[in-house]
Amino acid sequence: MTRKAPAEDPGDSRLRVGPPKDYAAGIPAVTSSLRHAHTQMGARRSLLTLLSVNQKEGFDCPGCAWPEPEHRHRAEFCENGAKAVAEEATVRRVTPEFFAEHTLDALAERSDYWLGQQGRLTRPMYRPVGSDRYREISWDDAFQVLARELRTLDSPDQAAFYTSGRASNEAAFVYQLFVRLFGTNNLPDCSNMCHESSGSALVETIGIGKGSVRLEDLYEADLILVVGQNPGTNHPRMLSALEKAKKRGARVISVNPLPEAGLLRFKNPQRPSGVVGGGTRLSDRFLQIRLGGDQALFQAFNRMLLEAEDDAPGAVLDSDFIAAHTHGFEAFAEQARKACWDDILEATGLPAQEIEEAFQDVLAAEKIVVCWAMGLTQHRHSVPTIREVVNFLLLRGNVGRPGAGLCPVRGHSNVQGDRTMGIHEKPEPSFLDALGAEFGFVPPAHHGHDAVETIRAMRDGRVRVFVALGGNFVAAAPDTYLTERALRTCDLTVQISTKLNRSHAVAGRQALILPCLGRTEADLRPTGPQLVTVEDSMGMVHLSRGRLAPASEALLSEVAIICRMARAALGDDAVRVPWTEFEADYDRIRDRIERVVPGFADFNARVREPGGFALPHPPRDERRFPTTTGLANFTVNSLDVLRVPQGRLILQTLRSHDQYNTTIYGLDDRYRGIHQGRRVLFVHPDDLAAHGLSDGDLVDVVSEFSDGVERRAPSFRTVGYPTPRGCCAAYFPETNVLVPLDSTAEVSNTPTSKSIVVRLESKPAT
């Protein structure tokens, strides 16, 4: 199925393509942040807002989950953090009049960029059955609509409750409590499409689904591998940490199909040398790997480590650590020694010599950190790949000691905290027991639907009510047209949101938009200003306090919306939980979190200390591994080599420098040389030639999957680009139409957004 590109997405007359940049940040980053801030907020508001990002008395940047350093710079934000803030603190407004003027169909025709540019949502809105547009509704009536629909379901499992990773700990905790009291574990979240593969692999191997390093470990490392991650765009503050580590003598290897600007050189805009000088060279070595080749690369390293130990017994592996703390070494080693070099070279696309040279860096390093993000998690064999990273670090005792460890770099600013608070479709029995004991009920034990399963269930009529706490499900999910049809068949869709997006336009037979406060805004209750808390990528919990006046006086906080939903929907069951008290004073929620979730003792006091507190992490803190064996598990994983038919390419879908997931800030991707357009396809020049194409040609990208369905993304401009042969890249969410719903990672069920088999069909010149 195909649909034409939205009118504002030029296919594209204004598009300009220049050479990619070889450095990140610097002066252009400062100019770009100020330009975005100024357009959305005006001068005075910009200054006030930007100066309180990530300050101890300010709000947590709604951008990424990278931790705050102990010594904060006065301007502890980055270009893309500034854009995230500007997007939320914008002075533009979406009013009831706007909805009166635009039908749902008209909105659905618009691009994600245009929708986001309309500004902040201001009033609760309702789309009644049969109506072609939303109209204003009171908060009370809105909650009654939801309560009525939930009550008419045959089973609580006919509703699904999505969460995006910006929700605070307090909102997430009351949300999952409401959902479980209602009677289901259908709590899909953005993690299912993001770091689920990391969680799956880590729980199994080290016993906890979180990374094992703190910022100080990065500073102390001898070697940092940055694998499948583009920090220059997606975690810009990580560049300062890498810079600091390098100053202390660390080497950095980046493993990526693309020579990403941030990984090459960094001009720190917070220091004078970064503004005028050539910047710091960040990567000592760049392994330009084929898409999906990382499992093979780590298998190669593991085989070479075992062989080096054979040559110099006792000098390479950490045998004491292996004996005392791990399980399954023998079986792993036997298989690892058999790793096949031909397969490794084919899968990685790297010359043997480059792997050898990188291995010398590995051998020379006492302390190694491996960082990764979506380049590792969104493939069919992502879980085995991350297990292989764990094997690699376990071999030399690189887990649970300073300067070393596993560092999955999270996406959304509180996605890790939401999981800690129980946003999980497969909750741990121990969590459910504690929750049930605290609130006097028996939570449902059977597993719920993840994101992909929720789409299938809506498509098949098994889920009839869909509620989203933030996010933009329809644009973030795979197989866009199928997901759209699935949502439209629901009896009711509910979006708790700050900004207009596609998920409001693609609505169920009835639909609600419930507008909420954002991070930047003051949350004033009669009992006083309320604070929320978040957990960063390294397990630090800290406060976030908004300062700006709310975008509209009608907005409610996420916590208030959820508590009122719960009261309306649960009726008598609601008396078990003091929803009104929770809504009035979030300290009362934190008291309960403390009693249900391990690691939160004395929560209210400790989170008010400067910088917050660290959650316990047994592998990191005491080399204790709470796995099924009670030890860190080596694993045996057969190698998956991505092979594609003749004439086909593997497509990865990724972020431009001007977007936050489905929120499009602008139409430039400065570091990759793209200006004023997004429908571009990066292809190796020789692959272009092999397809009889030239740089700048217009093509349809067609995905091929075993279900035989033709999925087509029309009208992309080809851009000759330094990506490995056989691999290409384009931006999401435009390319989500190409990701088959059933193409998911083993174990984690994450859509394979970084490996889609495609063919290109050239279009006649326009």
Ligand X SMILES: Nc1nc2c(c(=O)[nH]1)N[C@H]1C(S)=C(S)[C@@H](COP(=O)(O)OP(=O)(O)OC[C@H]3O[C@@H](n4cnc5c(=O)[nH]c(N)nc54)[C@H](O)[C@@H]3O)O[C@H]1N2
Residue, CB closest to Mo ion: 411
Identified binder of ligand X from the candidate list 90, 197, 200, 256, rule CB under 6 A: 256
Q: Helix (H, G, I), strand (E, B), or coil: what is residue 496?
A: strand
Report if residue 612 touches Mo ion, rule: CB under 5 A: no
Name which of ligand X, Mo ion, none residue 118 binds, using a CB cut-off of 5 to 8 Å depending on partner kind. none
Give the closest residue to 89 by CA, choosing from 724, 713, 550, 492: 550
Cα–Cα distances in Å, from 304 out to 191, 339, 350, 382? 34, 10, 16, 22
How far is it, in rounded angstroms, from Cα 126 to Cα 285?
A: 55
Identified binder of ligand X from the candidate list 119, 292, 422, 612, rule CB under 6 A: 292
- The residue among 411 and 444 lying less far from Mo ion, judged by its C-beta, is 411
Report if residue 545 touches ligand X, rule: CB under 6 A: no
Beta strand extents in 183-284 (DSSP E only): 223-227, 251-255, 265-267, 280-281
Q: Helix (H, G, I), strand (E, B), or coil: what is residue 129?
A: coil
Identified binder of ligand X from the candidate list 457, 654, 683, 698, rule CB under 6 A: 654
Helix (H) or strand (E) holding 94: strand 93-94
Question: Considering only 409-417, 444-452, 481-489, 621-629, which stretch makes contact with Mo ion by CB under 5 A?
Answer: 409-417
Sort strands 674-675 and 223-227 into parallel, antiparallel or unpaired: unpaired
How far is it, in rounded angstroms, from Cα 525 to Cα 425?
A: 32
Q: What is the edge-to-edge ordering of all strands in the sheet holding 405-408?
A: 285-287, 251-255, 223-227, 368-372, 405-408
C-beta pairs of 431-434 under 8 Å, 24+ apart in sequence: 431/596, 431/597, 432/180, 434/595, 434/596, 434/597
Report if residue 64 touches Mo ion, rule: CB under 5 A: no
Report if residue 197 touches ligand X, rule: CB under 6 A: no
Residues from 200 through 239 that contact ligand X (CB under 6 A): 227-230, 233-235
State in angstroms the smallest separation of the CB of 753 from ligand X.
3
State in angstroms the smallest separation of the CB of 377 from Mo ion.
9
- The residue among 305 and 739 lying less far from ligand X, judged by its C-beta, is 739
Residues from 194 through 233 that contact Mo ion (CB under 5 A): 194
Identified binder of ligand X from the candidate list 221, 255, 355, 651, rule CB under 6 A: 255
Identified binder of ligand X from the candidate list 21, 45, 123, 166, rule CB under 6 A: 166
Report if residue 670 touches ligand X, rule: CB under 6 A: no
Name which of ligand X, Mo ion, none residue 560 binds, using a CB cut-off of 5 to 8 Å depending on partner kind. none
Report if residue 714 touches ligand X, rule: CB under 6 A: no
CA atoms within 13 A on the CB side of 414: 32
State in angstroms the smallest separation of the CB of 650 from ligand X.
9
Taking a C-beta distance cutoff of 8 angstroms, is the pair 635, 204 a contact? yes
Report if residue 294 touches ligand X, rule: CB under 6 A: yes
- The residue among 116 and 720 lying less far from Mo ion, judged by its C-beta, is 116
Question: Considering only 17-25, 109-117, 189-197, 474-482, which stretch makes contact with Mo ion by CB under 5 A?
Answer: 189-197
Q: Helix (H, G, I), strand (E, B), or coil: what is residue 64?
A: strand
Residues 6+ positions from 346 with CB-CB distance below 8 Å: 641
CA atoms within 13 A on the CB side of 239: 32
Task: Give the x/- contact pattern for ligand X in 718-737, rule: CB under 6 A.
Answer: --------------x--xx-
Report if residue 62 touches Mo ion, rule: CB under 5 A: no
Report if residue 423 touches Mo ion, rule: CB under 5 A: no
Report if residue 451 touches Mo ion, rule: CB under 5 A: no
Identified binder of ligand X from the candidate list 303, 325, 449, 519, rule CB under 6 A: 519
Give the closest residue to 327 by CA, choosing from 34, 636, 58, 612: 636
The DSSP code sequence of 144-208 is HHHHHHHHT-SSGGGEEEEE-TTS-HHHHHHHHHHHHHHT-----BGGGGTTHHHHHHHHHHHSS
Name which of ligand X, Mo ion, none residue 743 binds, using a CB cut-off of 5 to 8 Å depending on partner kind. none
Residue 224, beta-bridge partner list = 252, 369
CA atoms within 13 A on the CB side of 5: 22
- Other CB atoms within a 10 A radius of the CB of residue 349 amount to 18
- The residue among 376 and 541 lying less far from ligand X, judged by its C-beta, is 376
Report if residue 548 touches ligand X, rule: CB under 6 A: no
Residues from 719 through 758 that contact Mo ion (CB under 5 A): none
Name which of Mo ion, ligand X, none residue 518 binds, using a CB cut-off of 5 to 8 Å depending on partner kind. ligand X
How far is it, in rounded angstroms, from Cα 635 to Cα 638?
A: 10
Identified binder of Mo ion from the candidate list 262, 411, 518, 539, rule CB under 5 A: 411
Report if residue 142 touches ligand X, rule: CB under 6 A: no
Report if residue 655 touches ligand X, rule: CB under 6 A: yes
State in angstroms the smallest separation of the CB of 228 from ligand X.
3
Report if residue 497 touches ligand X, rule: CB under 6 A: yes
Omega before residue 742 within 30° of 0, cis: no
Report if residue 65 touches Mo ion, rule: CB under 5 A: no
Residues from 410 through 429 that contact ligand X (CB under 6 A): 411-412
Residues 6+ positions from 131 with CB-CB distance below 8 Å: none
- The residue among 576 and 675 lying less far from ligand X, judged by its C-beta, is 675
- The residue among 335 and 743 lying less far from ligand X, judged by its C-beta, is 743
Name which of ligand X, Mo ion, none residue 691 binds, using a CB cut-off of 5 to 8 Å depending on partner kind. none
In terms of residues, how long is the chain? 766
- The residue among 412 and 424 lying less far from ligand X, judged by its C-beta, is 412
Number of residues that bind Mo ion (CB under 5 A): 2
Helices assigned H by DSSP within 597-703: 603-606, 618-622, 685-690
Residues contributing to the site for Mo ion (CB under 5 A): 194, 411
Residues contributing to the site for ligand X (CB under 6 A): 62-64, 80, 164-166, 190, 193-194, 227-230, 233-235, 255-258, 260, 289, 291-292, 294, 373-375, 411-412, 469-473, 476, 496-499, 501, 516, 518-519, 558, 652-655, 659-663, 732, 735-736, 739, 753-754
